[in-house]
Amino acid sequence: MVIEDGVEIGANTTIDRATIGSTLIKSGAKLDNLLQIAHNVEVGNNSVIAAQSGISGSTKIGNNVMIGGQVGIVGHIKIADGARINAQSGVSKSIKNPNSAVTGSPAFDYTAALRSQAASRNLPGLEKRVLELEKQLKALMEKSTRKGSA
């Protein structure tokens, strides 16, 4: 295990020894309390990880990454430089685009998540509108059928 200069590690954080190579915490990284950093993980320069997060084996976290609390990250993936992962997200695949933000479980684009949340708040009103349009359509079809049979 290699811990470079200026690293802060909180209480009850577990950093596993590598099975092959090194588990590496690069300079300036800040690790909060109650973290699990598995074998062969690399945490980039100046990255921060909030409490109760877990990083599975052989994951490579880039520089200046911000990881919220209670995040779970699967093993053998890469997190791009500057990525931001919201609290309680589940990251199941690599984040390839630098400076991108993700949220949710499974984690997906933050902006798309906001759009989905806004749309879901409108669902009750949309349902009401669809039911009303169906009623109007049924009435028009019945009227048309009556005209055709007359």
Tell how far CA 54 is from the center of its chain. Answer: 13
- Name residue, tokens 């093993």: 75
Top CATH class of 1-106 equals: mainly beta
Question: Measured between alpha carbons, how far is 73 from 85 in angstroms, rounded to an integer?
Answer: 10
Q: Determine the pLDDT at residue 1.
A: 92
Rounded to an integer, what distance in angstroms lies between the CA atom of residue 67 and that of residue 85? 5
Active site residues: 39
Structure pTM?
0.83
Instruction: Give the model's pLDDT for residue 147.
Output: 79
Cα 18 to the chain's mean position, in Å? 26
Q: What is the mean pLDDT of each run of 10 residues along the chain (150 residues)?
A: 97 95 97 98 98 98 98 98 98 98 95 92 94 95 80
CB 89 within 8 A of CB 109: no
CA distances from 150 to 140, 143, 145 (A): 16, 11, 9
- In the chain, where the domains are located: 1-106, 113-149
Q: Starting at the earlier edge strand, list the strands of the sheet with 66-67.
A: 8-9, 30-31, 48-49, 66-67, 84-85, 101-103, 108-109
d(CA 13, CA 76): 21
